[in-house]
Structure formats: structure tokens, C-alpha cells
Amino acid sequence: MLNSSKKVFARSANLALQCRAFSSGDNFISKPFKSLRDGLSWQIPKELENPNRPPSEADIVIVGGGVMGSSAAYFLKQSEKVGADVVVIERDNTYQQASSVLSCGGIRQQFSTPENVLMSMYSSHFMKHIKDYLSVEGSDPPDLQFNHQGYLFLASKENEHILHDNHVIQKNCGAKVELLTPKMLKERFHWLNVDGISLGSYGMENEGWFDPWSLLKCFKSKALELGVRYFNGDVSGFHVVDDNGNSIDPTKPSYQGRKLHSVLVSMPNSPEVVRIKASYVILTAGAWSGQVGKLLGIGTGPKEENLHAAIPVVPRKRYVYVAHCPDGPGLTCPLMIDQSGCYVRREGLGGNYLMGKSPPEEAEPSCDNLDVNYDYFDEEIWSHVAHRVPAFEKLKVKNAWAGFYDYNTLDQNAIIGPHITYKNLLMATGFSGHGIQQSPAAGKLISEYILEGGFKTIDIRKFGFERCITETPVLERCIV
């Protein structure tokens, strides 16, 4: 047992060494892409083009233009040395139901997997220095309204060992976290009822919450300034060819290899379907990534080509309740995760708080809509938060909303990297609730894989799709 622990901690320390200085001057590959669009402009004069009609060819097509897709687009274009033609397809350009903008916007370094710790540390650094990265000429400097308040995890005697184990991993990665006894918790958070609590873990730096819509807007605005093109449409299929360039059925065996050739985009309010030939396709479709993968036969194709394993990402609905409590904890309230699974954080300065809780597997709500079940708050949340913070006995729920997790049913961890069969298909999906906070790191790493041939900033090979084929989960013990 001791030797096993040493191996885990040694691996954590090794990964921590990869968390090098993060700056905007990263050494990207100097070999430029050949823009497949070059030489075609004479066919259709620009002034006659439909501004929302995608081009027939692009170097890279990104499926999904939320925060993950926009982050990847930004990092792919931010180096002047690389002339990649990047196109983003987004079916909901209002983002009204996008997971990106319906999240709570939390960011933490308190994970049990070193890769998650390092990704969030990178993202926190990026957000702290966002003006250096995402400022757009002629616009106000970006402001994420970052609240550096920290996360507070609470554990009973039964689960105290988990916080101890996680603490070692987090410290080895360079995270600044502190373990607090019940007495220390009470001294720091006088409003907290510590009955049943044996230990707390508090993030001293690089944790808190921010405005998720602002992060998406900043990424997209900067990507547009750098030349990324966004188009409104629904990816409805793909064109797949074998090694000889012959068209093949994605769901049928191919004995001469296979490659993703083109993306088929159904245009809004039109029967037209546009085909975009691409060198690379990046799947950042969030909760619907599994459905998009099926269009390529991923999950329904032949086992001998490793296409029997689906992308295990499905939508899971989560409620966020806004409660008003003038006598609540106030400015000293961190983002607290109770041992019951309930979370609370302050929202603004007017006595409002965001609250929620993930349901057990057998009680998952329907994902047919984004309706909110207010009874869930009364039955599953209120008594727990009122026990932990007695002032919440008098709270009143003002409103609520619902959003979708891109839930990885295998292990609730991200899937980042190429598909094992479609080498030119890369994925960044399945974050299961921590995608918004890890989007800067994920976009950076995806761009490194394409432009530099591998993950350079952080070694995240553990999060590759291979584990979905072998059904080998990478378990994360800190899922909220």
C-alpha cells in the first residue's frame, strides 16, 4: 500500500514539473498550414457570398462554438506563425441553452487527479491575466468579474481520509490549499455549523468564481479578431473515405483504412446542406458530443476498427437555485461543498446565494427540456444547507435555472485528444461540470496536439479516448 501511494505521489510530482511558466509567447510550430481555401475565391466573388454560408474547404472545422470550441479556435489562431484557416460551426448562435453560459462559473484546483489540478491551475493563471491574452482592439478590456473566494470542501469522519489523500496530490502539483480542523473552520467561518464535520479543505489561491458568459464572449471576440470564422448551422453528417479516397459507409467495415474527409452542415431555415472539406475536425459539442459521434459510426461501427465504443457523453440536467438571505454569511462565504453534496456560493453583494446538488443516478431528471423542479430544492437541498448554515433557515428562493452537464458516463472526466481510428478527429468533451473552468487549458492542449504533434504544457494522455474502448475509467473523487 505504501509503495502504491509513493507511485501516485511521484507521478503527481512529475506532472507538476510540466506546469511550466505560462505566457503568451509559447513556441508554436513554425510550419504554416496551406489554406485549402486559397485559389478558390475566383469561383464565387466575395461580395456575392452568403455571409452565413460556410466555405467549401477549411484547414480545421470545430463542431461547437461554445467556450470549449472558442478556446480551441483562439489558441489555434493566436500564433502568427501558423496560417490555419479555422471555421467554427455553432447551431445556437444565441447561446441561450449553451452549457457554457448556464453554469455557475466556478474554478478550483481541489481535484484528486493531478491532470485536473494542473489544468485548472493553468486556466486560473490565464483568467488572472486575461487582459494580456484576450484584449480586442477598440473594445473595453476583458473583465470576467473574478471573485477570488476559494472552495471549501467539508468531510465527515468517514470521508476525512479522502481530503487528506487529495491534499497531498494537490500540494505536489503546486496548489495552495489548507486543511482545517473543526475549530479552525469555526474561527474562520463563524456562521458555519461544524456538527458532523471532521475536516475541511480550503483553496487559498487560484479558486473562486467568474462570469461564464464573459469568458465565452472574450474567447469568441478574440478568435474573430484573429480571423476565425463562425457559422450558424447544424452538423448533420460526415463524409468518410478510405486510404484510396473512396467514399465509405462509416458504419460498415473498411479494410483499407478510413479518414474523416468532410463535415456536412445543414443550414438554418433552409434545405441546403453544405459540405466542408477539412484536414482536422475538433468535436466540442458538449452534452451532444455522443450524438455527433454516432454520425461517424462511433458506437455503432465495427469492433475490429474500434468503432464499437461510443463517445460516452450524454446530457445531464442540473438545477441552480437563487436564494435571498439578508442575514447569510455575506462576503466571507466561499463556494462551499457540504458533505451532503449540496453546494452554496455568494452571488453579488445583495444577500443572494446560488445553491444546488447533483442527484443520484436513479433520480436523474429528464433532459427533454430545461424546466426547473422547485420541489427538488425543498426536498433535497434546503434542510442540508440550513443545517450547515443556520441563517439559511430564513432564505427565500427568488428564481432558478437549469443547464446541461456534458456528462461522461464512464468516469466523469474529460475526453481530450484524437479518436483512435479517425486520426484527424480530436475531441474535448465530457468534462462533467468542470468544462467552463478548464476551457483555457483544454483549448491550449488541443492546439498543441495539432500544431506541435503532442501535448506539451500538461501531459493529459490519461484522458485519451483509448480508455473508453478498454472501459478503463480514470476516477475523480471530487465531482460536484
Residue 171 has pLDDT above 70, yes or no: yes
Residue 450 has pLDDT above 60, yes or no: yes
**What does the pLDDT look like over 266-286, one tens digit per residue?**
999 999 999 999 999 999 999
Residue 154 has pLDDT above 80, yes or no: yes
Residue 19 has pLDDT above 80, yes or no: no
Query: 177-180 and 229-232 as β-strands: parallel, antiparallel, unpaired?
Result: unpaired
Tallying the residues shown for the chain, one arrives at 480
**Which strands, in side-by-side order, build the sheet including 335-337?**
177-180, 199-203, 151-155, 335-337, 343-347, 352-356, 313-324, 396-408
What Å distances lie between residue 224 and 116, 252, 325, 343, CA to CA? 29, 39, 41, 36
Question: Are the CB atoms for 324 and 352 separated by under 8 Å?
Answer: yes
How many angstroms separate the CA atoms of 124 and 294, rounded? 34
Kindly state the percentage of the chain with pLDDT values over 90. 84
- Taking residues 160-180, what's their average pLDDT? 97
pLDDT at residue 477 in the model: 80
Residue 23 has pLDDT above 70, yes or no: no
Biggest CA–CA distance in the chain, Å, is: 74
Kindly state the percentage of the chain with pLDDT values over 70. 89
What Å distances lie between residue 28 and 72, 176, 177, 232, 323, CA to CA? 14, 30, 33, 30, 47
Angle at 201 between CA 196 and CA 207, to 5 degrees: 135
Q: What are phi and psi of 302, to 5 degrees?
A: -70, 140
pLDDT at residue 10 in the model: 43
**What does the pLDDT look like over 231-242, one tens digit per residue?**
999 999 999 999
Residue 197 in grid coordinates: 464535520
> H or E segment at 316?
strand 313-324
Residue 5 has pLDDT above 70, yes or no: no
Q: Which band of pLDDT confidence, cut at 50, 70 and 90, is reported for residue 50? A: low
**What does the pLDDT look like over 303-330, one tens digit per residue?**
999 999 999 999 999 999 999 999 999 9
**What does the pLDDT look like over 116-142, one tens digit per residue?**
999 999 999 999 999 999 999 999 999
